[in-house]
Chain A
Amino acid sequence: MIARRLAAILFLPMMLAFGSGVYLYLGTLKSKVVKTRADIPTVTKPRLVLPGTMLVVQDGRLFRLKDGGFTEIGAPGEWSQPTVTPDHTHLIAVLRSGYSSDLYLLDLDGHILKRLTKNDSRIVDYNHWAFYPRVSPDGATLFYSYDGPKHVNAAPGDDLSIWSMPLNGLQSQARRRTDPYWYTGGDVTPIPLAGTGLLFVQHSIDSSTAVHSQIRLQSRPGDLVGKPLTSLADNCSEPALSPDGTQLAMICTGGKQIARLEVAPFNGTSLGPARVLLEGGLYASPTWSPDGQALVYFAPSGAAGHFELWWLAVPVAATPSPSLAATPAHSPSAGGAGSVVVPSLPATPVPVQVTQGVDLTATSPPAWY
């Protein structure tokens, strides 16, 4: 009788513990895709130490990657698309607020120095978007995408054009540089070249109602449409010009939901044959290293799908003709690589994952200087 009572006393907690254990164990079987949430970059350690300084964005927060560690910079807000002035003394970034976005001039620590645009309005329809800031090589002009004019001459006003304004001037001095296809979302990603040249991405629609992206070159300001550098069928976008101005990295989809990372020689007026460095993934925002020997880009890592930073050495291509070389948009930086480690360049490019579990904003290209 005593033994039975003793057994009952022992069995009860055992059953309780086992039942709870089963409950908790089932919880551990949940797939990682459901459980995984992004880490703040500052609590992570990059797997690769990159030369120079890089700015990236996670969910509206600006982070500086330097000497193998992340530091958060700037005031709270919904920041994106940071870019560095050619003299590496200032940043320009996009700040979204409510129904609009504006461009801000920041110091290198992210402190606001000046609001460059004022796009918010109490009337919903009169809010504006400004994205993709980029400063001309001489540091005098700011290029960006802007959804104006609105409600003028039957323009629907929901399409982005490329605009330019003096960096030290006023928004009222801004001039429209491209003429977008209506109802496609418009023109994005301006890359000002030395002189009057401008690379940008145009979205257009064909007779079968398919929308295409195409990298175009505008040789002079009055040429609102420019000339195509890539074919409609290739659907290329997100151009990144190498520091010496002789190579263009880009993302091409061929109209599919997977992308290719390509690099093509650029002579200032046309592109040479493109080399496919990577294909079959969701690649975004390629950015050249300061020495022009490597690219970083964003791509998902694993099933959780968080976009991570990847590094890829760019194999040396045939040397472009010096007479055709374009003037660089950014001067190459020595990058202070004395104490940092960069893998030696492999014969065939093998991507190296730099970050893990941070889910960086893939539509904000890194600024690397």
Chain B
Amino acid sequence: MEGRAPARRRRASRLHPVRLVILTLFCLLLSGTAGAAAYFLPVVVAGVGQTGQTVVVPPSNSPGLKVTPTPAAAAGAPFTVLLLGSDDDGKNKSPLTQSMILVRVDPASKHVTMESIPRDLWVPLWTGENAKIDAAYAYGGAAAAIATVERNFHVHIDEYAWVGLNGLIKLIDLLGGVDVFVTNPVLDDAYPDDINGGFLYGYKTVAVLPGAQHLDGSHALQYVRSRHNDINGDFGRSARQQQVLLAMKVKASTLNAADLPDIVNALKGNFKTSMGLDRVRSLLSVASGFDLANVKQIVLYAPFYTNYGPQISGQSVIYPHWTQILAVTKENFP
């Protein structure tokens, strides 16, 4: 017995072919995983920092604005996202939301409904205090914006996504630009000249000509941000924002998981969402199946849904016609 032990050690020290194959496979698996991990590292970092943001919706202090909470959407069930776009150019320490769009996604029927909320809509905020709805985010972040929209529009919001101006430019550039059909010339002699380090309150002229065309990020921003020479004012801008969102969706439908690191790098610091990476990834895959014919667009135009009224504290405001607004919202965001 004693004499056999050294012989076993000698055998064990030899590289048996089976053992060599297993070892090789293990090493390849290890190094492959390391390579993939390195590739997706920015996504993981962003996953911690930018996605999956926890939102605690504050309770309502506003009397008369009660909404029955609906349960959060189960996997595969329709869900509602509140898209927020901010002028984060530094004018305000806490940026306003110049764009607020409710989006309902039904993965089963592949239907999407978008409802733009006018930024100047005069509403009770989640605190009960009246203000323009774009101030909710500035006062209390995404949670306040969600609470304000939920309580005024009687909808349940499952997720939110916030993007800043530079984030939108970078994202569109990353997508290689967007293709849109511009219905009429968009000319603006007072377009904010506040991107790329310009004077925050400076302005410039812009001209986006009509017709089908390819817009890069900065020109797409001009198209969705200009409002001074639009007879529909902020409503016209809302319609253009929805148009560019759909154009982005067309481009995004060709994205895949390998594009995520580039997207994350482009949006660094300019994007926040409550959606986890799983939902972002599933959204990308769902996007490829949507048909534009299955997209419903709602803009709360005056005078049916809203009306222009007297200024309040020097602010231009829009007054809601809640009967019409709640009817169309209930119909499309059940």
Measured CB to CB, the residues of A under 8 A from B are 1, 3-4, 7, 11, 14-16, 18-23, 26-34, 36-37, 99-101, 124-125, 127, 129, 131, 147, 150, 156-160, 181-186, 188, 201, 203, 205, 209, 211, 213, 235, 237-238, 251, 253, 255, 257-259, 282-285, 298-300, 303-307, 359, 361-363
Contacts and interface: CB of A to CB of B under 8 A. Distances in A.
Contact of A307 (B176, B188, B214, B236): B214
Query: Which of B28, B214, B229 has the most CB atoms of chain A within a 10 A radius of its CB?
Result: B214
A303 B40 CA distance: 25
Contact of A15 (B27, B184, B213, B250): B27
Contacts of B176: 33-34, 36-37, 304-306
Given A15-B27, A27-B39, A158 B188 contact: yes
A34 B184 contact: no
B15 A237 contact: no
B107 to A, nearest CB: 21
A31 B210 contact: no
Contact of B210 (A3, A213, A298, A359): A213
A237 B255 contact: no
Contacts of B254: 31-33, 303
Interface residues of B, number: 64
Nearest to B186: A185
Contact of B36 (A22, A185, A203): A22
Contact of B35 (A21, A125, A258): A21
B189 to A, nearest CB: 5
B214 A235 contact: no
Nearest to B185: A185
B109 interface: no
B205 A159 contact: no
11 contacts: A14-B27, A18-B31, A23-B36, A26-B36, A26-B258, A127-B205, A181-B231, A257-B292, A300-B214, A307-B213, A359-B214
Interface string B41-57: 00000000000000000
Nearest to A15: B31
B187 A147 contact: yes
B243 interface: yes
Contact of A34 (B174, B205, B235): B174
Given A15-B31, A29-B256, A300-B214, A156 B229 contact: yes
A188 B184 CA distance: 9
Interface string B7-30: 000000111000010011001101
B183 A235 contact: yes
Contact of A4 (B13, B203, B232, B235): B13
A99 B202 CA distance: 13
A155 to B, nearest CB: 11
Given A188-B209, A237-B210, A238-B211, 6 more contacts: A30-B258, A33-B254, A159-B187, A300-B179, A305-B178, A307-B212
